[in-house]
A and B are shown apart, each in its own frame.
Chain A
Amino acid sequence: MSCRLAGAAAMRAAQTQTSPVLDGGGQGGVAIQVRGLRKRYGDVEAVRGIDLTVRTGEIFAFLGPNGAGKTTTVEMLEGYRHRDAGEVSVLGSDPADPRPGWRARIGVVLQECQPEAELTVEECIRLYAGYYPRPRPVAATLELVGLADRRAARCGRLSGGQRRRLDVALALIGDPELVFLDEPTTGFDPAARQSAWEVIAGLRDLGKTIFLTTHYMEEAERLADRIAVIAGGRIVAEGTTATLGGRDAAASIVRFTLPPGMPAADLPPVLAAARAGGPGGTVEARATSPLPLLGALAAWAQARHVDLPDLQVIRPALEDIYLQLTREAR
């Protein structure tokens, strides 16, 4: 493990040395810069002026419900769609008019794409390897995505999860600096999702910058260094998993069950506002800073020689914050 991390660190250092400042690889460390990006389809403004900064070497999760403008945005960054307004720089190029060689430096996993059904997995990867000036080794890439034992299978016969791994392999084969992953695990069962996450986490160890769109908060929480939430075409929150949507400042919940025979009215004054009377005498109290409340509660319990065996302090779930953010935008 430590060996693998050291290798990744060395690779990152090497990248920093070879990448020019203008390309966003060096001291600036910015892979993607977006300012005031807008896109309209007829009467609908799908993207309404968004700003984003993705730093080199990080996993950036772009989170939002279906129809929030995620794919429109990522396809503008990939150069598939033209923007109506705004400034975009991806690895130092405008994706609408990229410099020569730009496409060899990005990898794209599309939301919906079938492989060449008649080719075997290995033939398909070799086909794409041939498109690039300096491809990664085919065998190592098969290994990385966990398709080594399916190398001789026709692409058309792969399962959904295996096909997605092939998508990732095809996006990586050119050894890009930046990888776009558009909803890589949508429709996966839990086991397939778990192994996809391992693959994506492995990309970070290779020193890749990753722009991940998803509508699963859990996915963003597991993988991302930073998260931006888009809803209704606007960025409604941006931060780390710890700070997103004011999560660090949001109230925690202190929850316990009243010991038998103890009325809620007997609780210390700081818990007066607590909600009691849940199933089985559950009490829930909210506090931005839960420590004074816990101190008072502990003193109260000790004085009465009772225990609170199911005492819990619950941090607000990222999922709840996400749902609240996207609900407000609707």
Chain B
Amino acid sequence: MTAVSPGRAVSAAGSRRQLPRLIAHQFRADLRCFARNTQSRFFTLLLPVLFLVIFGSVFRNADVEVPGGSINESVYYVPGIIAFGLISAAFSNVAVTVVRTREAGIYKRRRATPLPASAVIAGRALVGVLTAVALTAALLVIGWAAYGASIPVRTAPAFALDVIAAAVVFCCLGFAVAPLIGNVDAAVPVTLAIVLPLSFISGIFIPAGELPGWLVNIGAVFPVRPLATALLAAYNPHTTGPGLRWGDLAILAAWGAAGLTFATLRFSWVPRGEGD
């Protein structure tokens, strides 16, 4: 007993020191799984790129009314599709992966190991944030090269802040929605059923000025619209000042906090129907 107690104490303290290493270890494996999964690659990475190419090409010649003036419609779509891409990487893909991993029994097996719960969550969350940021960078480059959409230097810091905040917030929401999805088959349809209608009423596929005002007002309550307006403000050459929209960020942060709370309370390690 006396011989063992110090060993225990060391291992408990050691496991706390181990946490960053364990998160990095889990992150590498999760990133590899993401990169090798066809569904993830298509829905998360390719679909937003396709949307950008389609929307940007179809509506080349029209102008869209934005705060302070008007911009070319293909430029208008770049921040919108960036918002859509962020959401598909940080929200949809996280939700679908969590459901798939849970229903496969993989979370259950990991719970039988010494791996701390926080490392399981943080590893996957980092993949969501990282892919969201990387996808944003790719869409930004495509938007600039194909449609001449650029971000003024004075609003660039605001844009970076918006992207990182949104990646974290939608990641929390992805973890929050996973417990509500009972099986793997439902995961993709459920996330699409949430993301697509919200995208339509948030000015992502149709400029908000062409939508009825009450629909835009409904959209403003949800987190997609604030993200779209914040990113548009960064892209809009008529924006004066740094383009920081604290109100939009506050709504996003509130959704993120609510999502994190719900996810913490309802996260399940075992397949549906195997609870205690």
Chain A residues with Cβ below 8 Å from B276 are: 80-82
Cβ 8 A contact of A118, one of B14, B32, B105: B32
Chain B residues with Cβ below 8 Å from A104 are: 11, 113-114
Q: Is B190 an interface residue (CB 8 A)?
A: no
- From known contacts A20-B1, A119-B32, A127-B29, infer whether A113 and B113 are also in contact, taking CB-CB under 8 Å: no
Size class of the B contact interface (CB-based, 8 Å): 20 to 34
Taken together as a complex, chains A and B put the C-alpha atoms of A132 and B15 apart, in Å, by 10
Stretch at the interface among A95-103, A270-278, A308-316: A95-103
Interface residues in B93-117 by Cβ distance below 8 A to A read 104-106, 108-115
Are A100 and B105 touching (Cβ within 8 A)?
no
Are A80 and B270 touching (Cβ within 8 A)?
yes
Closest Cβ neighbor of A154 among chain B residues: B36
Taken together as a complex, chains A and B put the C-alpha atoms of A116 and B120 apart, in Å, by 14
Q: Interface 1/0s, chain A 111-124, versus B by CB < 8 A?
A: 01111111100010
Are B1 and A113 touching (Cβ within 8 A)?
no
Q: Is A170 an interface residue (CB 8 A)?
A: yes
Closest Cβ neighbor of B34 among chain A residues: A118
Cβ 8 A contact of A110, one of B11, B32, B37, B108: B108
Are B106 and A103 touching (Cβ within 8 A)?
no
Taken together as a complex, chains A and B put the C-alpha atoms of A117 and B8 apart, in Å, by 35
Taken together as a complex, chains A and B put the C-alpha atoms of A21 and B108 apart, in Å, by 30
Q: Interface 1/0s, chain A 171-195, versus B by CB < 8 A?
A: 1001000000000000000000000
Taken together as a complex, chains A and B put the C-alpha atoms of A81 and B26 apart, in Å, by 25
Interface residues in A102-142 by Cβ distance below 8 A to B read 103-104, 106-108, 110, 112-119, 123, 127-128, 130-133
Chain A residues with Cβ below 8 Å from B106 are: 113-116
Q: Is A58 an interface residue (CB 8 A)?
A: no
Taken together as a complex, chains A and B put the C-alpha atoms of A130 and B111 apart, in Å, by 14
Are A113 and B114 touching (Cβ within 8 A)?
no
Cβ 8 A contact of B112, one of A20, A103, A123: A103
Taken together as a complex, chains A and B put the C-alpha atoms of A108 and B22 apart, in Å, by 20
Between-chain CB contacts (< 8 Å), 29 pairs: A20-B3, A20-B4, A21-B1, A22-B1, A78-B112, A80-B276, A100-B11, A100-B15, A101-B12, A104-B11, A104-B113, A106-B112, A110-B108, A114-B104, A115-B106, A116-B29, A116-B106, A117-B33, A118-B33, A123-B29, A127-B26, A130-B22, A131-B22, A131-B114, A132-B113, A132-B114, A133-B14, A171-B112, A174-B114
Which residues on B are within 8 Å of A, measured CB to CB?
1, 3-4, 8, 11-12, 14-15, 22, 25-26, 29, 32-33, 36-37, 104-106, 108-115, 270-271, 276
Given A80-B111, A128-B113, A132-B114, 9 more pairs with CB closer than 8 A: A80-B108, A81-B276, A103-B113, A108-B109, A110-B109, A114-B106, A119-B32, A130-B22, A131-B114
